[in-house]
Structure 1
Amino acid sequence: MKKISRILYATDFSESSAPAAEYALTLAQLAGADIHVLHVIGELEDKRRGRIPPEAFELFEKEIEVHVVKEMDQFCRQHLRDEVRYTTETTIGKPFQVILATARSQNADLIVMGTHGRTGIEHVLMGSTAERVVRRSPIPVLTVPCHDGK
């Protein structure tokens, strides 16, 4: 069996990402692996972005980044504590593309991420980042379903 030394844990800080954090933590502890925690801020589509003046958009991006760094710190302290070695990263882009690129650049052996459990028309309209990652990833992907009482 291949050794797991680096886990990429992708999170959107939602409730559905908390169970996935537990799995990432447990697997890292069992394997003696490090975790790279990634949060991707989805970028606006070009047609929506064009309606925002460039200087306002730059200020908006900076404010979001400051907020997300604080949220990342709080999320990691709550869910990963000091029980494993981890690094964090926040970036802007298309989530599934950034997750795959980060897995490559971090030499990850495993990707762990939560799923929202969308079905039907909501799934068709919103798509699934986890599904896109699973289909395109050259390394194993562990998807952890949300336990929201459904």
Structure 2
Amino acid sequence: MAEIKKILFPCDLTEDFSRILPYVLSISEKYNSVIYLLHVIQDLHKWGKLYMPHVSMNQVEKEALKSAQDALDRVCEEQLQGCPGLQRRLASGDPAAEILKMIDSEGIDLVVMGTHGRKGLEHRIFGSIAEKVVKKSPVPVLTINPYKLK
């Protein structure tokens, strides 16, 4: 049987986080695993080059990273205080690429992540981070649709 010592939980820090968290904690407790909590801020430069001067974009990105770090810290304090060995990471870039990078760099054994259930045109425009990770991940990926949980 495969050992699950490191679980990666990529999250967007929305209310979906709270719906998926019990599953992550349950798996972690069962296998005595360390949870790696990852929040990725999409690279703002790719969206803002046409609209903002470079200096302004750097400031916006700095503020976004600070705000995300504060939110990540708050979530950890409020909902993950008793979680032994919790590792938190904040990254900037393409979410799927950053998740895949962390799987390799940290030797992750399992990824547990939410899906948004986008369909049709919305899915074609925005794609699915979970879908990209599932297709390219070298480790198992458990996807949970938080909108269908009871």
Task: Calculate the TM-score normalised by the size of structure 2.
Answer: 0.91
Question: Deviation at 1:82?
Answer: 1.3
Distance 2:47 2:78 in 1: 37
Question: Deviation at 1:47?
Answer: 6.1
Is residue 48–residue 57 contact of structure 2 (8 Å, CA) maintained in 1? Answer: no
Residue in structure 2 matched with residue 139 of structure 1 by the alignment: 139
Distance 1:45 1:105 in 2: 25
Is residue 11–residue 113 contact of structure 2 (8 Å, CA) maintained in 1? Answer: yes
Distance 2:32 2:24 in 1: 11
Instruction: Point out where structure 1 has 5 or more consecutive residues left out of the alignment.
Output: none
Residue in structure 1 matched with residue 4 of structure 2 by the alignment: 4
Question: Deviation at 1:113?
Answer: 0.6
Residue in structure 2 matched with residue 103 of structure 1 by the alignment: 103
Is residue 4–residue 31 contact of structure 1 (8 Å, CA) maintained in 2? Answer: yes
Q: Write the letter of the residue equivalent to 2:121.
A: I
Q: Which runs of 4+ in 1 moved over 4 A?
A: none
Distance 2:94 2:131 in 1: 14
- Point out which structure has higher relative CO (alpha carbons under 8 A, 6+ apart): 1
Residue in structure 1 matched with residue 41 of structure 2 by the alignment: 41
Residue in structure 1 matched with residue 76 of structure 2 by the alignment: 76
Task: Calculate the TM-score normalised by the size of structure 1.
Answer: 0.91
Deviations for 1:58-117, whole angstroms, at most 9, x for unmatched residues? 111111111111100122233323133211111110000000001110100001111112
Q: Does 1:119 align with 2:122?
A: no
CA-atom RMSD, angstroms? 1.9
